[in-house]
Amino acid sequence: MSLSFSEVLLRGSCCEPKFQHHHRTMWSVLLANNTSLLFFSFHIIIG
């Protein structure tokens, strides 16, 4: 997973105009994954 994120960052730095879009996409995916992980951990703690 970290490899794909680093690849996106590397590609973004190569093509500057697209960097912002890739960065936003990466962060939205990262946030979504973190949210699901938080819910999962809470479910384990509660249940």
pLDDT at residue 2, as a whole number: 53
* Amino acid at residue number 29: V
pLDDT of 3-44, one tens digit each?
566 666 565 555 555 556 666 777 778 778 788 877 877 777
**Model pTM?**
0.32
> What is the longest distance spanned by two Cα atoms in the chain?
47
pLDDT band at 45; cut points 50, 70, 90? confident
Number of domains observed in the structure of the chain: 1
Q: Could you give the CA distance from residue 2 to residue 29 in angstroms, rounded to a whole number?
A: 12
Which residues span the domain enclosing 15?
2-46
